[in-house]
Amino acid sequence: MARPITLFTGQWADLPFEEVARLASSWGYDGLEIACWGDHLDVRRAAEDSAYVQGRLDILEKYNLKVWTISNHLLGQAICDDPIDQRHEAILPAHIWGDGSPEGVRQRAAAEMATTARAARALGVDVVVGFTGSSIWKTVAMFPPVPAAMVEAGYRDFADRWNPILDVFDEVGVRFAHEVHPSEIAYDYWSTVATLEAIGHREAFGLNWDPSHFVWQDLDPVGFLWDFKDRIYHVDCKDAKRQVGNGRNGRMGSHLAWGDPRRGWDFVSTGHGDVPWEACFRMLNTIGYTGPISVEWEDAGMDRLVGAPEALNFVKTLAFDPPTAAFDAAFSS
């Protein structure tokens, strides 16, 4: 099966695309999961300019890398979010933010996500990874009391905004892999069930499995793979470490910055946290996942130039292929 191991470039977007390609190649990565920000990928140019696309592919070829997925998390966040505020202005390009009118931001973001599907097709990529945003994440604390109708309206809003985008994904033969993540429409097990139901389980919409978001929510990342095995369109390897148990650190983070020891959990480089990686990779074998395994480096306490190559070696050690025959088959030969 020999699944390729890629590096997600989102946390490296301060560096030129070619420099990230050079680094990833020198460490031994097979390819990149290209982020659609920084100078890494301009989806409008990629959808319309074949010379621009060829330039990206030439850089990858120069460093013996390939691309299987592109990611547009920042844009996707603005499609359903309510409120739209200064946080979005900080992460969105100026042409999407415009005058900051919330509905205008949402509509421009939705249109460009459709363009992202066309950019992916131009690159020869079959999967776009990203976020959806959510109009009802703000109600997660359930107080003031949240009427069921308000939650139902949130899922309808998601479906109304994303179905036209997914029509374009279907048109060009690309699938969207939503990262199950707090602040999104699907952030845990049951909200994922509700999200898939809201869009009629259409095949254009699947999941990006990132187990770091399961750890601090006390969810089972292995069982999630089994239950949603037909929807696992992409895999990101990121880890998280729980820091609870002292009676002071809470799961909600206490509005504290990443790396603060008073947090109840933190993202850490792959292999340094509480994700049960061997069980996860064994389950990926069981469900027949053959796509890329993408290292997403996030660790406030480790230099990325140390973390990225170390994570690659960690994944290579555990992401073994399944056997070609049952171990007891020889007994009957």
DSSP codes of every residue in 8-29:
E-GGGTTS-HHHHHHHHHHHT-
Structural element, H or E, at residue 79:
helix 73-80
- Dihedral (Cα; 317, 318, 323, 324), 10-degree rounding: -70
| Residue-by-residue DSSP string for 129-189 | EE----SSGGGTT--S---HHHHHHHHHHHHHHHHHHHHHHHHHT-EEEEE--TTSS--SH
For the domain made up of 5-332, the CATH class stated in words is: alpha beta
Looking at the whole model, is its pTM more than 0.75?
yes
Q: What's the first-to-final CA gap in the chain, in angstroms?
A: 25
DSSP state of 320: P
How many angstroms separate the Cα of 159 from the Cα of each of 30, 83, 166, 302, 331? 35, 18, 10, 39, 53
**What local confidence, expressed as pLDDT, does residue 330 receive?**
66
Nearest to 289 by CA among 241, 329, 251, 322: 322
**What local confidence, expressed as pLDDT, does residue 294 receive?**
98
Q: Average pLDDT across each block of 10 residues of the chain; the chain has 333 residues. List them in order.
A: 91 98 98 98 98 98 98 98 98 98 98 98 98 98 97 98 98 98 98 98 98 97 98 98 95 95 97 98 97 97 97 94 73 68
- Dihedral (Cα; 252, 257, 261, 262), 10-degree rounding: -40
**Exposure of 110 in the CB half-sphere (CA atoms within 13 A):** 21
Three-state secondary-structure class, residue 78: helix
**Exposure of 102 in the CB half-sphere (CA atoms within 13 A):** 10
How many angstroms separate the Cα of 51 from the Cα of each of 56, 69, 123, 221? 9, 20, 11, 41
**What local confidence, expressed as pLDDT, does residue 327 receive?**
65
Spatial distance between the Cα atoms of 146 and 148, rounded to a whole number of angstroms: 6
How many angstroms separate the Cα of 273 from the Cα of each of 187, 256, 267, 268, 287? 20, 19, 8, 6, 24
